[in-house]
Amino acid sequence: MSESTARTSTVPTVTLNNGVEMPALGFGVFQVPDPGECERSVVAALDTGYRLIDTAAAYLNEDAVGRAVAASGVPREDLFITTKLWVQDAGYEATKAAFAKSLKKLDLDYLDLYLIHQPLGDYYGSWRAMEELYSEGLVRAIGVSNFYPDRLVDLIQHNEVVPAVNQIETHPFFQRTDYQVLMREHGVQIESWGPFAEGRNALFTNPTLTGIGAAHGRSVAQVVLRWLVQRGVVAIPKSVRTERIRENFDVFGFVLSEDEMTRISGLDTGVSAFFDHRDPVQVTRLNEARLPE
């Protein structure tokens, strides 16, 4: 894709349960802690045409994202900026303070999406605070991340605002198809983190994916992102290489056939490639992960 084409491409959107339009493809900055590298990557992504940028307090790069956004020249109303609340800031008062801190680091007047990063601690108190931030117009939509079905449904049934988004591990080896149906029934948009499974299970050399890619003259990464887009799953791939950033954006010029979608569905193991948020050991590890002040 040429640079001029990248800058003028339009990403389709999904409509959240409150009517807000969210780009179907965005750019993530997980595991890009180096400020300079993060800033350069986000500038490259915005220059390519991405408008959804996904960060988190736990990524320790909100400042760099804010600088990149300011340097990009892209009008604020054209952007969709997401960040997330970490476990140590769970609870009503702590959430209000953490939100203000994130907003200051990003150098923004409002957020487009604010997520509870993990279903741990006093996330009910956090949700009450987030409902108020939403009603005050400081954030256009609120949601959650890593919530399994039981916790998501319970949160929905005991609060006024239904989460607009649930960002969860979703990739060819852990497809979450049944969960996507449940979320759709409740008006919650599924968003994928780890769309490439960080290369686990030899994703980039998988015969099914490489074969489909060859048929379209596309990379495995493009096939995976196209598969997610066609499923109605928002994806936020990450890269620090400009050529990959552009390649990952160029997924709207081809369509996977029903047979190809079915073949990819056969790769599902139904098991996380990383960890289970219901595992007591993992819960303890996440609860003990403290961010610097």
Here the CATH number for the domain that contains residue 77 is: 3.20.20.100
Whether residue 228 is contained in a domain is answered as: yes
Whether residue 293 is contained in a domain is answered as: no
Binding-site positions read 117
Whether residue 120 is contained in a domain is answered as: yes
Reported as a single tens digit per residue, the pLDDT across 228-287 is 999 999 999 999 999 999 999 999 999 999 999 999 999 999 999 998 888 999 999 999
> Is 92 a catalytic site residue?
no
Domain that holds residue 69: 3-288
Query: Degrees (nearest 5) of the Cα angle 271, 274, 277?
Result: 80
Cα 28 from chain centre = 7
- Scored b (16 or more CB within 10 A) or e, 6-18 reads beeeebebbebbe
- pTM of the predicted structure, to 2 decimals: 0.94
Reported as a single tens digit per residue, the pLDDT across 174-227 is 999 999 999 999 999 999 999 999 999 999 999 999 999 999 999 999 999 999
Instruction: Note the pLDDT of residue 9.
Output: 53
Whether residue 238 is contained in a domain is answered as: yes
Which residues fall within 8 angstroms of residue 55, CB to CB, at 6 or more apart? 28, 29, 61, 62, 65, 81, 82, 83, 84, 106
Whether residue 270 is contained in a domain is answered as: yes
How many structural domains is the chain composed of?
1
Whether residue 187 is contained in a domain is answered as: yes
Tokens of 79: 């952007």
Instruction: Note the pLDDT of residue 293.
Output: 73
Report whether pLDDT(3) > 70: no
50, 59, 134, 179: which is the annotated catalytic residue? 59
Whether residue 185 is contained in a domain is answered as: yes
Which residues fall within 8 angstroms of residue 102, CB to CB, at 6 or more apart? 57, 62, 83, 111, 114
Binding-site positions for substrate read 117
How many C-beta atoms lie closer than 10 Å to residue 20's C-beta? 17
Reported as a single tens digit per residue, the pLDDT across 20-73 is 999 999 999 999 989 999 999 999 999 999 999 999 999 999 999 999 999 999
Helix (H, G, I), strand (E, B) or coil at 23: strand
Residue 21 CA to residue 270 CA, distance in Å, equals 30
Whether residue 140 is contained in a domain is answered as: yes
265, 253 Cβ separation under 8 angstroms: no
Query: Degrees (nearest 5) of the Cα angle 75, 81, 84?
Result: 160
